[in-house]
Amino acid sequence: MVATPIVTLSGVTKNFGTFKALHETDFEIGEGEFVTLLGPSGCGKTTTLRLIGGFELPSSGRIEIAGQDVTKNPPYRRPVNTVFQDYALFPHMTVAENVAYGLTTGGARPDRGDLGRQVGEVLEMVGLAQAGMRRPGALSGGQRQRVAMARALIRRPRVLLLDEPLSALDVKLRETMQVELKRLHRELGITFLMVTHDQTEALALSDRIVVMQQGRICQIGSPGALYDRPETPYVADFIGAANLIEAEFKGLDGGLERLTLQGGTEITRRPGGAGSPGPFRSGQRVRIGLRPERLRPEIETNRFTGQIVETLFHGDRIRIEFTFAGNPTPAFVELGRAMADRMGTLAPGAPITLGVDPAEVMLFAEEASA
Partner 1 sequence: MKSLLWWQKGMIGFVFGVLMFLYLPIVMLVLFSFNDSSVTSFPLAGFTWRWYQAVLANEQMLRALGNSLIVASAATAITLSLGTLAALALDRYDFPGKGLFQNAILLPLSLPGLVTGIAMLNFYKQIGIPQSLTAVVIGHATALLGVVVSQVMARLAKLDARQAEASADLGAGPFETFRRVTLPAIRPAILGAGLLSFTLSFDEIPVTYFLTGREITLPIYIYSTLRRGITPEINAIGALIVAASIGLIILSVGLLRDRK
Partner 2 sequence: MTPARATPLAFSGLFGLPLLWVLLLLVVPYLLMIAVGFWTRQFPLFVPDFQFGNYVQLFSDPQYTTVILRTLKIAVMVTAFALALGYPLAYFLVFTVDSDKLRNLLYMLVIVPLWVSYLLRAYTWKIILGNDGALNSALIALGVIDTPLDAFLYNQTAMVITLTYIFVPFMVMPIYAVLENIPKRLIEASEDLGVGPMRTFWKVIAPLSLGGVVAGATMTFCLAFGDFVAPVLVGGPDGTMVANLLQSQFGAALNWPLGSALATLVLIMVMAILWLSARLDRAGRVAMK
Q: What is the dihedral of CA 359, 362, 366, 368, to 10 degrees?
A: 140
13-52 residues in contact with partner 2 (CB under 8 A) are: none
Please tell me the distance from the alpha carbon of residue 254 to that of residue 344, in angstroms, as a whole number.
Answer: 36
What's the min distance (Å) between Cβ of 196 and partner 1? 17
In the list 40, 67, 74, 348, the residue contacting partner 2 (rule: CB under 8 A) is: 74
- Is there binding between residue 77 and partner 2 (CB under 8 A)? no
Q: Cβ(360)–Cβ(291) under 8 Å?
A: yes
150-179 residues in contact with partner 2 (CB under 8 A) are: none
Q: If DSSP codes are grouped into helix, strand and coil, which group holds residue 235?
A: helix
Closer residue to partner 2 (CB): 73 or 323:
73
CA 270 to chain centre: 28
For residue 73, report the phi and psi dihedrals to the nearest 5 degrees: -80, 140
- Is there binding between residue 57 and partner 2 (CB under 8 A)? yes
For residue 229, report the phi and psi dihedrals to the nearest 5 degrees: -130, 65
Question: What residue ranges bind partner 1 (CB under 8 A)?
Answer: 53-55, 74-76, 80-82, 84-86, 88-92, 101-102, 105-106, 108, 151-152, 155
In the list 56, 180, 198, 366, the residue contacting partner 2 (rule: CB under 8 A) is: 56
Nearest 5°: CA angle at 247, between 245 and 251?
A: 140
Please tell me the distance from the alpha carbon of residue 17 to that of residue 59, in angstroms, as a whole number.
Answer: 10
- Is there binding between residue 88 and partner 2 (CB under 8 A)? no
Of 130, 149, 148, 167, nearest to 93 by C-alpha is: 148
Q: Residue 56's binding partner, choosing from partner 1, partner 2, none, with beta-carbon cut-off 5 to 8 A by kind?
A: partner 2
Closer residue to partner 1 (CB): 54 or 132:
54
Closer residue to partner 2 (CB): 72 or 117:
72
Q: Residue 269's binding partner, choosing from partner 1, partner 2, none, with beta-carbon cut-off 5 to 8 A by kind?
A: none
What's the min distance (Å) between Cβ of 26 and partner 1? 25
Q: Cβ(206)–Cβ(194) under 8 Å?
A: yes
Query: Which residues contribute to the site for partner 2 (CB under 8 A)?
Result: 55-57, 74
